[in-house]
Structure 1
Amino acid sequence: MRALRWHGKKDIRCDNVEDPGIEQPRDAIVRVSACAICGSDLHLFDGFMPGMKHGDIMGHEFMGEVVETGKEVRTLRKGDRVVVPFTITCGECDQCRAGNFSVCERTNRNADEAAKVFGHTTAGLFGYSHLTGGYAGGQAEYVRVPYADTTHVKVPEGLSDEQVLFLGDIFPTGWQAAVQCDIQPTDTVAIWGAGPVGQMTIRSALLLGARQVVVIDRVPERLAMARAAGALTINFDEESVLDRLRDLTQGKGPEKCIDAVGMESHASRSMDSMLDRAKQAVMLETDRPHVLREMIYVCRPAGTLSIPGVYGGMIDKIPFGAAMNKGLTWRMGQTHVRRWTDDLLARIADGQIDPSFVITHRAKLEEGPALYKTFRDKDDGCIKVVLTP
């Protein structure tokens, strides 16, 4: 089969590899009908996530048709259409029973290595380094899905691939980011980053009843897409984020602040951002936390910081004293995908939202390597890429 594989920093290739097979009785094999390039994939492309190995198959946002199942799979059969969550879940451990699927205790087959880095293991994740299990990803023609009886979302008839594909990651990620804020009808919600996750977060915050949503970015196409949803926008290349947010909140600051950027944040003419880049270059810091600093500074006292943006290692110069003294609540984590998908699938079917609005580029799998760079550089108006094997 063909698959997109990681061969080092900024080196993704479409290779021919062996087809996957059933390895465990709870496995299924899925023929991929659609997959996407996610912003989190760019952290691998840019070389910021540890644990990648030469030849790893990329991709954690995908769906398709079940073509084979292991002998212990009871909830799936050949021919079922499924979206596959990026978090692999056993459904039986304490964390899964509590709905904390992204920290499933059983599915990371490299749990000891993950615990050394994070203190405890995460769940296994598709296509996302050997710290999260080293599982082959979904930017391929076929995928082995472990724990398939609990790691899937069945797709009802009448919904297209493009309507439901993003249930595997960016839609529930944006939804969780907004839900973590406990949004009230009087709230201003400020969202840093108008990429795919940011776009889903905007619409989630509005569906959950926010009075005002403000989005910070600098890419014109992303800002236009945010305005189309009803958000106010701030281009951080053209105006002060802090001053504008104060003006929009009568000097009080937003009650809820969401970091939909993560470890590769950018800033214009910012001393802290320049220092972060210098520290990264000499390995004194792994991630760039400019957005976190800005959120802490501008958030209203007793407000909430929600962090769906991915961080992978060490960050520096965080004004934690400000966060403590302002009484800010921090909520963060990889997405508990299956906690949200039944509700979100119903909202799609009901016509409340069609997540396919975010797609700007559609291509064949073999065009994926070039589109990684297009997406990373935000060229050609690129906001979201969907690939069809």
Structure 2
Amino acid sequence: MRGLVYSGPGARSWTQIPDPGIQEPRDAIIRVDAVTICGTDLHILGGDVPEVAPGRVLGHEAVGTVVETGTGVAGLAAGDRVLASCISACGICRFCREGSYGQCLGGGGWILGHLVDGVQSEYARIPFADLSTYKLPDLVSDESAVLLADILPTAYEVGVLNGRVRPGDTVVVVGAGPIGLAAVVTARLYSPAHIVVVDKAESRLLAAKMFGADTAVVAGAEDPLAVVRGLTGGLGADVVMEAVGTPQTFELCASLVRPGGRVANIGVHGKAATLHLEDLWIRNVTITTGLVDTFSTPKLLDMLVAGQLDLGHMVTHRFGLDEFMPAYDVFGDPAHTGALKVVLTR
């Protein structure tokens, strides 16, 4: 079969790889039917995630059909259509018992496309498949479901829930990529008074308005601090979400938050950012970080089925499963392509 193989910073190829096989009793093998590319994959290719070894198959967001299960997998059978979560969970260790699956001590956590081969391939091995896949109802399309593998639960858990968004809040999202847009969608569930989105790309700011942002700020052309203070009587935002992963955007977020407010860092950081405690220590600011746990995936799936989450405009580019190389080119250059989320299907 073929897979998208990482060969070191800046190097990737769609090439022949061995077929996956059952290695542990709780494994399942899926035929990959729909898969997408994550901003984290771009961070890996940029050298920001050194734990990823050359030769690794990338990818951690897929919908597929079960073709084989290990002897320890309950509740799944060949032919089942499933969402493969970006997080694998042993279900036994201390963190899994607390619902913190991203910190799994039993061989799980974020491993797909990171520490084991991922899902950007024709077939994939899914560890701990009984707890790390979700059966999909027929009325949910592959294209909508694949967005629940990572970006929706990440934005919701690490951004909205960690940031404790409440009715009437002023919420700022810095970064209007897929994660930032998912943060807008899920923040709206809590009826904030204002959602402000900051980004350099006007195409992404237009998308943010489409998904429910009230105010769009063009970074570099407008002053985000002046805009936010103008909306809040000079106080600053109640919640600021960092959805890029650069030192500059993190420091911008810290400057936009009001005294007693919350900064929820979602972005993947490959370089050090300065924490200005000389300014923040007196302002009662809470800063949270986090890797998604995906405990919210069943709830988000229920909301998707009920029509409470509108994801119809998130996917901007579609490719066949053998078109990973051009798909990466398009996704990696959103300023020129206008790409939000790309989906590749069998």
One-letter amino acid of the counterpart of residue 286, structure 2: T
Find the aligned partners of 1:23 and 1:51 in 2 and give their Cα distance. 22
Contact 2:48/2:269 (8 A) holds in 1 = no
One-letter amino acid of the counterpart of residue 225, structure 1: A
Find the aligned partners of 1:290 and 1:37 in 2 and give their Cα distance. 24
SS in 2 for 1:87: coil
Find the aligned partners of 2:326 and 2:45 in 1 and give their Cα distance. 12
Q: Paired residue for 1:308? A: 266
Find the aligned partners of 2:26 and 2:224 in 1 and give their Cα distance. 49
Q: Paired residue for 2:145? A: 164
Query: 2:252 aligned to 294, 300, 307, which one?
Result: 294
Find the aligned partners of 2:182 and 2:59 in 1 and give their Cα distance. 19
Find the aligned partners of 2:257 and 2:180 in 1 and give their Cα distance. 18
Find the aligned partners of 2:45 and 2:7 in 1 and give their Cα distance. 9
The unaligned stretches of length 5 or more in structure 1 are: 109-122, 129-133, 266-288
SS in 1 for 2:173: strand
What's the CA shift for 1:381?
1.2
- Structure 1 residue runs of 4 or more that deviate by more than 3 Å after TM superposition: none
What's the CA shift for 1:366?
2.7
Q: Paired residue for 1:142? A: 123
Find the aligned partners of 2:221 and 2:305 in 1 and give their Cα distance. 39
Find the aligned partners of 2:344 and 2:40 in 1 and give their Cα distance. 16
Q: Which has the higher strand share?
A: 2
What's the CA shift for 1:311?
2.2
Find the aligned partners of 2:147 and 2:116 in 1 and give their Cα distance. 20
Find the aligned partners of 2:321 and 2:10 in 1 and give their Cα distance. 17
One-letter amino acid of the counterpart of residue 180, structure 1: N
1:49-198 to structure 2, matched below 5 A, reads 49-108=49-108, 123-128=109-114, 134-176=115-157, 177-198=159-180
Contact 1:163/1:354 (8 A) holds in 2 = no
Q: Paired residue for 2:18? A: 18
Please, what TM-score do these two structures have when normalized by structure 2? 0.96
What's the CA shift for 1:316?
4.3
Find the aligned partners of 1:317 and 1:148 in 2 and give their Cα distance. 40
What's the CA shift for 1:202?
0.3
Q: Paired residue for 1:354? A: 310
Query: 1:368 aligned to 310, 324, 342, which one?
Result: 324
1:343-363, CA deviations, whole angstroms, 9 ceiling, x for partnerless residues? 101110001113242101100
1:15-70, CA deviations, whole angstroms, 9 ceiling, x for partnerless residues? 01111000111110011000001111110121221123222101111110110000
Q: Paired residue for 1:383? A: 340
Q: Which has the higher helix share?
A: 1
One-letter amino acid of the counterpart of residue 199, structure 2: D
Find the aligned partners of 2:116 and 2:311 in 1 and give their Cα distance. 26
Say yes or no: does 1:324 pair with 2:281: yes
Aligned length: 343
Q: Percent identity?
A: 36
Please, what TM-score do these two structures have when normalized by structure 1? 0.85
Find the aligned partners of 1:229 and 1:382 in 2 and give their Cα distance. 15
Find the aligned partners of 1:234 and 1:2 in 2 and give their Cα distance. 42
Q: Paired residue for 1:241? A: 224
One-letter amino acid of the counterpart of residue 372, structure 1: Y
With over 3 angstroms needed to count, the CA separation of the structure-2 counterparts of 1:15 and 1:258, relative to structure 1, is: same
Find the aligned partners of 1:294 and 1:219 in 2 and give their Cα distance. 17
Contact 2:172/2:239 (8 A) holds in 1 = yes
One-letter amino acid of the counterpart of residue 157, structure 1: D
What's the CA shift for 1:184?
1.8
Which stretch has the larger CA shift, 249-258 or 228-237? 228-237
What's the CA shift for 1:124?
4.1
